Amino acid sequence: MSRVPLRPLARILDARAKGGDPDAIERENKQQRNEAMRDRARVQAEGRLLVLAVLFFVAFGTVGVRMGMLAGAEVAEPRGQTAGAEIAATRADITDRNGRLLATNLTTHALYAQPPLMVDPERAAAELVEIFPDLDADRLVRDFTGSRKFLWIKKKISPEQLQDVHDIGDPGLLFAPRDMRLYPNGAVASHVLGGARFGQEGVHAAELVGVAGIERAFDDRLRDPGQAGEPLMLTLDLTVQSAVEHVLAGGMQLMNAKGAAAILMEVHTGEVVALASLPDFDPNERPNPPTSGAPSDSPLFNRAVQGLYELGSTFKVFTSAQALDLGLVDPATMVDTTGPIKWGKHKINDFHDYGRELSVTDVIVKSSNIGTARLAQMIGTERQRAFLEQLGLTKPTGIELVEAKGSTPLLPSNWSELSTMTISYGHGLSASPLHLAAAYATITNGGTKVTPTVVRKGPVAPGPRVLSPQSSAITRDMLRQVVSRGTASFGEVEGYAVGGKTGTADKPKPRGGYYEDKVLATFASIFPAHDPKYVLVVTLDEPVETTGSEPRRTAGWTAVPVAAEIIRRVAPLLGLRPEIEPAGPMGVTLTSN
C-alpha cells in the first residue's frame, strides 16, 4: 500500500516562500492519516461483532428448536443402539382355502437389561423372579452386578408381564418391540405349518424365520416386504382339518395306537384338504428336536409325509389295475390261489385259505397275497417297476413341505422276481401315506397322474395319463366291493358309497426281521366310489382293538372304522349330499376277451 508523505516537498517550499510553518503541514497530514486508520479499524470490529451475533443467534435457535421437539415428543424408555442394517420384521399371513387365518403376526415385547443404568440390581432380580419363576435370581444378580453392559432376559412377554416389570421402576430394565408369530388355532395343522422362530435380533426389531413345514418352504416369499400384505393361501380347509384331527385323535386312543396319520385329498387336482399326524404339537410353543431315540417318537415327526412304511395290501389294487390295463386279465378271470408259493427259502401264504382259485375281483375283495403274486408274475418285474414309477411311488411326492424332500421311498436293492411278488401285495417297498393317497387318486380319477399340493394355485391341469378310463372305472368298482362285501365292511357310510382297500403290514424291527404283535394298519378309501371326489388315507401305528375276547390288529378292525367316522363327519362339510348308490358296476360293461 502506498502512503502520502507527511512533508510533501511542494507544499513545504510554498509555505516557506509565503513565510508559513512547514511543521504544521506535517502535523495536519499525520492527523488525517490517524483518523483514516481509526475508521478502518472501527469498520473491521463492527463486522466481526455482526458475524458473532449471527452465529450466536443460529446456535441458540437450534437449541431452542430441539428443546421444543423433545418437549412435544411422546415419552419413551431410552433404547440401546445396535450396529448393522435394519432388520426386516414383516412376515405375511397364511390362510386356508377360505381365507381363514392359520398364521399371523402379533405385536409384543422382549425384556432386556442395561446393568450400568440399574439403581438396585438385587431388588430388581428378586422381583423379576416373582414375575418369571423360571429365572434364576442368583444368576441375575451376577449378571446385573458384573461387567456386562447388555443382556436379554425374556424374548417374549405378555402385556400383563410388561406392566409388572414396568412397575418395578428400575431404569435399567427396558423393553424391545417384537412381532411374534401367532398360530390362532393352536395345534391344528401344526405339521403343515411347521413353525417359526426369531432369527437375527436387534433392540428395535427381530426377524421371523421359518423352521419347518410351509413356514420354511416359503420363507423367502413370506419374508418379502413386497408381498407382506398378500397372504399365502393353502388348500387346507380349517373346519375339515379340525374335524379330521379330532376324529383321528379319538380313534387313535380307542384303538390304543402309538401314532396316526390321515390325508384327505381331491382326486382330480391333488389339493390336500386335510393332513394330520399324531402326536402333534402347538407351533406357538414348538418343542426342540429330539437328541436321542427314534425320530418317529417325536411329536415333530410328520407321519403322513416323512413316515416310510410297508403299506401292505393297499398295494394290491395297483397290481390288479395294471394287469387289467395290459389286457392280461378281466375282472372275472380266475387266478390260481393254491399255496404256498415257494421262491427259494421264502414262502408266500394267504391269511385265510381261499381255495384253489379266485376271480381277479375276489383276489382284491378277499385280499389274497397268492392271487396278487400270480398277477405280478404275469406283469413282470420291468413293467411293474415302470408302472409304480408312473404312480410316483419311487420318488418324493413333490408336495411343498420341506420334510417331503427327504422322503424318498425305500426300494429293494435287487428288484428280483421275489421282490416283484412281495411288492405286489405291499411288502418290500416302503412309501409314505401321502404317496399312497396320490397313487389312489391317480388310479381312481380316470387314470391321470396327480401331484399332491398344499398351496392354492388356481386351476390345476390334468397330469399325464397312467391308466385307461375303463381300467380306472373297473378299479373303482372293485374298491367299492371291498367295502360292501369284503375286508372293509366297517367302512360303510350311508349315502356316500365308500370304496377302499385295507392293508395290514407287520412292523420291521430296527435290526432286521418283523415283530409278531406290532403292525401298521392302513385304509385307503375313495368317496363316492361311483364318481370319486376325494381320497382318504388313514394309518394307525401299532393299533390293538380290545373289545373282543382276543386283541385284533388288522386294518379292517382298526383303521377302517376310524376312516368311516372321518368320512361321516367331513362329507357334509365338503358339500357332498348323501345320495342313493347307482345300481350295477357304475356304468361299465364287462366283456370277456
Residues serving a catalytic function are 313
In this structure, the strands spanning 206-212 and 195-201 are: antiparallel
Residue 458 gets the label, from left (phi > 0), alpha (psi -120 to 50) or beta, of left
CA separation for the pair 336, 315 (Å, rounded): 19
Residue 430 gets the label, from left (phi > 0), alpha (psi -120 to 50) or beta, of beta
CA separation for the pair 144, 549 (Å, rounded): 67
Give the C-alpha distances (Å, rounded to integers) separating 570 from 169, 238, 342, 566, 577: 54, 11, 45, 6, 11
CA separation for the pair 37, 31 (Å, rounded): 10
C-alpha cell at 582: 347307482
What contacts 24+ positions apart, CB below 8 Å, involve 211-219? 211/286, 212/286, 212/300, 212/402, 212/403, 213/401, 213/402, 213/403, 214/94, 214/400, 214/401, 214/454, 214/455, 215/94, 215/103, 215/181, 216/402, 217/400, 217/401, 217/402, 218/400, 218/455
For residue 449, the tally of other CB atoms under 10 A from its CB is 19
Q: Which residues on neighbouring strands pair with residue 356, listed in sequence order? A: none
- Name the phi and psi angles at 359, rounded to 5: -70, 160
